[in-house]
Amino acid sequence: MKIKNLAVALFMALLGAAIALFAYTRIVEKPSALTEYDSSNVEVPGSSAILTSYAMQEGQVDFTYAAELTVHAVVHVKTKTMMGSQATNPILEWFYGERYSRPREVKGFGSGVIISPDGYIITNNHVIEGADNVDVKLNDNREFTAEVVGRDPSTDIALLKIKADKLPYIKYGDSEELKLGEWVLAVGNPFNLTSTVTAGIVSAKGRSLGILDTDYRIESFIQTDAALNMGNSGGALVNTRGLLVGITSAIVSPSGAYAGNSFAIPITIVRKVVEDLKEFGEVQRAIMGVIIKDITSGEAEKQKLKEVKGVLITGMTEKGSADEAGLKENDIILRFNNVNVATSAELQEQIGKYRPGDKVSVTYLRNGRQNTVPVVLKNIAGNTGVVKPGEGSAVVFGARIEPLNQSERKSLNIDYGVKVTELNDGRFKDLGIRTGYIILSINSKKVRNAAEVREASGNESSLKSIEGVQSNGTYFSFQFKN
């Protein structure tokens, strides 16, 4: 009997041990939901680099791959400008000597992004504007003198070229794919330091800051909280895959130093500008021929819109692209080539992707009805031809002229006119026209650009009258006999 009880007890003990072992393997050895296996040792398509993070917890992001891939392709841009002598001031010269009135050298610095192995570099226009010399220092400390291939004040982009090959470069990404909250890196040269990397998230898209003062400005910035400071301008904004999604350009700050918001030009705008400068030497800017503003809640209510989104047309250019397509003042643009546009900045960004002569579709709202029409985009001269270098600010009668910017038109309370920005031998110089003069009409015809000056003067063959404003603000009017 005792033997039987002992056998039962032994059996029960073995059974209990088996149950305990089974439970242990099913519960204790089961991987925790918070445990991540290392799956980062994978090659990125199109690159020999390997991600090297190890067992990162959920929510963490590794920036080492993007940083290593891009830091060597960001350069230091240095400029030199000789400032002209100041007006003679005997009192200041008595204190400071003759050096006060002598020309002086002014240095500047910023960043640039190599976009091809043969030495093409993107930077901001404001980094190199007015510079007499532009030098580039690579991340490996080699230095080169750069050629300015072209620049575009309307987007604040400039293209440089150095004589070098087999350079590291950053590939283009797609800024339209960026999502709010997505991580990005800013790579640049703040405070004259070598390449520096900061990280942040995309805070907003399609921001317009009003910092570019040109008629055809395109402002649709990517806003991030990646730290930028003086010298970062012209640097790279890249995603975590190391692809170029923007060119860092500006900060909003009461002190002049980083204060939490930084802004970059979307690569969709940059890429088109760069391609134009390389191919034509001048940006082939498409124009719709409309004056626009963001829709307001009052206008949305009036038009019975479900959301306060869209772009209101407040003015039209006669015989412009929109006018010829049948668009009218007070129409509300909702989509441009099947892309929704909620603000003026978003519409400008979409138009900026196209060239004169391109045919697009515009969906708009009028009197509660939605319509879609084809629109053939034109250039700043009002046609679909290729704009040659200098035609945006062309030379007429020996003077280089440019359309008035918004602030100049506002100060004079006019919506037309051209400004003399450079004067060489020719009819205007003979008449006493000076740099800074604003020309309002030629042969009693209002002028807004070089093409209209040529048209009004019969391609510079006839000059019967000219009216305008001198640099001191006084009006002038010349009449000539046949």
Q: How far is CA 255 from the centre of its chain?
A: 23
Q: How far is CA 19 from the centre of its chain?
A: 68
Answer yes or no: do 112 and 206 share one domain.
yes
Task: Please determine, for residue 30, whether its predicted confidence score (pLDDT) is greater than 50.
Answer: no
Task: Please determine, for residue 433, whether its predicted confidence score (pLDDT) is greater than 60.
Answer: yes
Task: Please determine, for residue 271, whether its predicted confidence score (pLDDT) is greater than 90.
Answer: yes
145-160 pLDDT tens trace: 999 998 888 899 999 9
Domain end (from 376, 410, 426): 376
Domain end (from 230, 258, 282): 282
Nearest one of 342, 339, 257 to 294, comparing CA atoms:
342
Q: Within 13 A of 358's CA, how many CA atoms are on the CB side?
A: 18
Instruction: Give the per-residue pLDDT at 318.
Output: 80
Is residue 42, in this structure, part of any structural domain at all?
A: no
Please state the pTM of the whole predicted model.
0.69
Could you give the residue numbers annotated as active site? 126, 156, 233
Answer yes or no: do 83 and 171 share one domain.
yes
Answer yes or no: do 401 and 417 share one domain.
yes
Written as six digits, the tokens of 17 are 């041990």
- Helices (DSSP H) in 45-89: which residue ranges? 64-70
| Cβ(418)–Cβ(438) below 8 Å | yes
Q: Considering only the C-alpha atoms of the chain, give the largest distance between any 2 of them, rounded to a whole number of Å.
A: 143
Answer yes or no: do 176 and 197 share one domain.
yes
Is residue 174, in this structure, part of any structural domain at all?
A: yes
Provide the total of helices (H) and of strands (E) in the chain, helices listed first: 11, 26
Domain of residue 231: give its range: 63-282
CA angle at 78 for the pair 237 and 256, rounded to the nearest 5°:
60
Is residue 46, in this structure, part of any structural domain at all?
A: no
Q: What are phi and psi of 147, to 5 degrees?
A: -95, 135
- Tell me how far apart the alpha carbons of residues 424 and 400 are, in angstroms, rounded to a whole number: 8
Is residue 13, in this structure, part of any structural domain at all?
A: no
Split at pLDDT 50, 70, 90, the class of 38 is: very low
Q: What are residue 239's DSSP bridge partners?
A: 184
- Tell me how far apart the alpha carbons of residues 231 and 149 are, in angstroms, rounded to a whole number: 21
Share of the chain above pLDDT 70, in %: 80
Answer yes or no: do 153 and 297 share one domain.
no
Q: Which of 13-27, 107-121, 377-391, 431-445 has the lowest mean pLDDT?
A: 13-27
Is residue 330, in this structure, part of any structural domain at all?
A: yes
Alpha-carbon Rg of the chain, whole angstroms?
A: 31
Is residue 2, in this structure, part of any structural domain at all?
A: no
Answer yes or no: do 134 and 209 share one domain.
yes
Q: Within 13 A of 337's CA, how many CA atoms are on the CB side?
A: 16
Task: Please determine, for residue 349, whether its predicted confidence score (pLDDT) is greater than 60.
Answer: yes
CATH code, domain with 330: 2.30.42.10
Nearest one of 291, 451, 443, 437 to 383, comparing CA atoms:
451
| Cβ(416)–Cβ(446) below 8 Å | yes
Domain end (from 258, 282, 306): 282
Written as six digits, the tokens of 37 are 């296996």
CATH code, domain with 141: 2.40.10.120
Is residue 34, in this structure, part of any structural domain at all?
A: no
Q: Within 13 A of 323's CA, how many CA atoms are on the CB side?
A: 13
- Tell me how far apart the alpha carbons of residues 482 and 368 are, in angstroms, rounded to a whole number: 55
Is residue 246, in this structure, part of any structural domain at all?
A: yes
Answer yes or no: do 227 and 107 share one domain.
yes
Split at pLDDT 50, 70, 90, the class of 424 is: confident
| Number of domains into which the chain is organized | 3
Q: What are residue 82's DSSP bridge partners?
A: 105
Share of the chain above pLDDT 90, in %: 43
